Amino acid sequence: MGILSKTQPRNRFCSRTFLFKITALLFIFSLFSLILFKVDDTVSQIATGTKTVVGHNLGQTPWHKFPPKQLEEKNNTKYTKAANLIKCSYFTCLFSSNPSNTPLDRHQELPNSSTCPSFYRWIHRDLEPWAQSRISVGNLMEAQTHAAFRVVIYGGKLYVDFYYACTQTRAMFTIWGLLQLLRRYPGMIPDVDLMFDCMDRSSVSRKRYRPGRRWPPPPLFRYCTTDWEFDIPFPDWSFWGWPETNIQPWDKEFNSIKKESQAQSWRNKTDHAYWKGNPYVASPVRMELLKCNDTKLWGAEVFIQDWIKEKQAGFKTCDLASQCKHRYKIYAEGFAWSVSLKYILSCGSLPLMINPVFQDFFSRGLVPKENYWPVTFSNLCRSIKFAVEWGNANPSKAEEIGRGAQDLMGSLNMERVYDYMYHLINEYSKLQNFKPVPPSTSQEVCMESVLCYANEREKGFLKGSIASPSLSMPCALQSPDRELVENLIQKNRKIIDDVQEMERIQMEKKDRKNIVPTSSIQPMNQTRLL
């Protein structure tokens, strides 16, 4: 008993120590579980809430469906994906070396440049709806209903708020282009807030918005416009490259096309028209063009482009530079305008343009019979045949028009593309009646963050289009002259009408020759049926 009585306090102490340890362990385990739960919850929120330049957590635009993106993830685990999203979206730009991040007034340091090309005057016409009323925050928010993303330039930095995914790498390369603009003119790009849609067709109808009724229209940037919309055209993504079709950045692609086109004299080129593309894009023009694939009957050679097979074959048969061996190249719009226009014009061949409806930023500078030959959609095959026969009968004139198209595209180098972007954004910023501020939902985007999301193939195109700071000021923009622009429009229409009239007269002559005179028709022997 004595021995037991002496050891009882020790056992009670051990029991209390053991309970304390168990309680502490349970507390630590619970705390650790809570931390893991919170971390897991935070990781899930980041993984599902971060919207990116390549399309993470972004749905399709409701106004233009396209196949969903297949994002390339090296490791699909939730934690590695979240870690990559955090790194690329929130930390990369903290260490950016982009010179645009440092405000710099270079206006007095840089020498003056030349006057801008005449089609830059369209900048004033595109922005005319807001010249009097100006652009309010309300106008901007109305444009958001049509936009895929919002761009805010603030203090020389670029912020983007993503709404919907863009097909392929359009968003990535468009935003990359804006970053190169900041790099080319550091400290010279004003604070600006704009909405951008990256899909094909323009959407702000002139029928819906009219002075005195619903005015002004929402300001929306995109790659093209029409005579019936207010959308503001902006240089398309392919100027910085299009990896999905193996098209290089513009300056490199143009030089390659021009060099290849000059390897053969114009007169030695194939004397009929050529088109290669994808007709299955809801394009009535391209579907009708397929019917003209007969070199003897219509003087045209038409090929269907299968991009899936081209990619599998390593793009060996779709090199643009190799497609300049014909005297005539056909331009046919797709679902809307087509980026192929600038490559067709670059060939030095006579461009045959089929009643274009959509306009990109530079196509307003084209003059019929100087840079292209107009072709009529309503009688397409015969119109192509007439153009080819006219060109073969007038080789010097046809060659001159083809050279005029190539020279025009040669003058539109990337320096001029950036100048157009500069003036468009600068003039647009003057119309805002509010001070742009990045919204809380936007992310800063820099060159490093875009490269962080790009795969190896995309990085090659992006790095191949990095701009250098300009050694001169942007070209000098002409003052607004609405009457001059309207006169140019009427002049071009008159030329097109004259060509169509010449075509109509020629066709009527041929039709009369093909009609057999009634007097020469011998009566058929009639047999009485018994």
pLDDT in tens, 384-403: 999 999 999 999 999 999 99
> Tens digit of pLDDT for each residue in 210-249?
988 899 999 999 999 999 999 999 999 999 999 999 999 9
Instruction: Name the least confident of 42-51, 54-63, 190-199.
Output: 42-51
CA quadruple 381, 382, 383, 389: dihedral positive or negative?
A: positive
Position 20 pLDDT exceeds 60: yes
User: Which is nearest to 178 in space by CA: 458, 424, 427?
Assistant: 424
* Residue 516 DSSP label: P
Closest CA relative to residue 473, chosen from 98, 189, 114, 104? 114
pLDDT at 12 > cutoff 90: no
Write out pLDDT tens, residues 64-100: 878 777 777 665 677 788 888 888 998 899 887 666 5
Q: Is the pLDDT of residue 25 over 90?
A: no
| 24-28, 158-162, 205-209: least confidently modelled range | 24-28
Query: Rounded to whole angstroms, how far apart are CA atoms 262 and 325?
Result: 10
pLDDT band at 355 (very low <50, low <70, confident <90, very high): very high
Confidence (pTM): 0.88
- For the chain, the C-alpha Rg in angstroms (whole number) is 31
Please indicate whether residue 493 or residue 309 has the higher confidence score (pLDDT). 493
Contacts of 368 (CB under 8 A, 6+ apart): 374, 492, 495, 496, 499
Q: What would the two tokens of residue 13 be?
A: 């102490």
Cα 211 to Cα 230: distance, rounded to the nearest angstrom = 13
Indicate if the pLDDT at residue 16 is higher than 90: no
203-211: average pLDDT: 93
Determine the pLDDT at residue 33.
52
Structure-token pair, residue 40:
């897991």
Would the pLDDT of 527 be above 50?
no
Average pLDDT over residues 471-489: 95
pLDDT at 528: 28
Check residue 2 and give its pLDDT: 47
Alpha-carbon gap, residue 322 to 324, rounded angstroms: 6
329 touches 349 (CB < 8 A): yes
193 and 436 Cβ atoms separated by less than 8 Å:
yes
Q: Tally DSSP H helices, then E strands, for the chain.
A: 15, 11
Contact (CB, 8 A) for 229 and 385: no
Predicted pLDDT of residue 101: 46
- pLDDT averaged over every residue in the chain: 88
Among residues 354, 225, 332, the alpha carbon closest in space to that of 281 is found at 332
pLDDT band at 36; cut points 50, 70, 90: very low
Place of tokens 């990116």: 52
Residues listed for the chain: 530
Cα–Cα distance, 198 to 62 (Å, whole number): 13
Instruction: Give residue 388's identity as a one-letter amino acid code.
Output: V
Tens-place pLDDT, residues 277-295:
999 999 999 999 999 999 9
As a whole number of angstroms, the distance between CA 240 and CA 221 comes to 18
Sign of CA dihedral 384, 229, 119, 418: negative
- Which residues are paired to 350 by β-bridges? 328
Least confident of 39-43, 160-164, 209-213, 416-420: 39-43
Query: Of residues 73 and 344, which shows the higher confidence score?
Result: 344
Whether 273 contacts 352, CB under 8 Å: yes
Is the separation of the CB atoms in 334 and 360 below 8 Å? no
Residue type, 426: N
Task: Give percent above pLDDT 70 in the chain.
Answer: 85
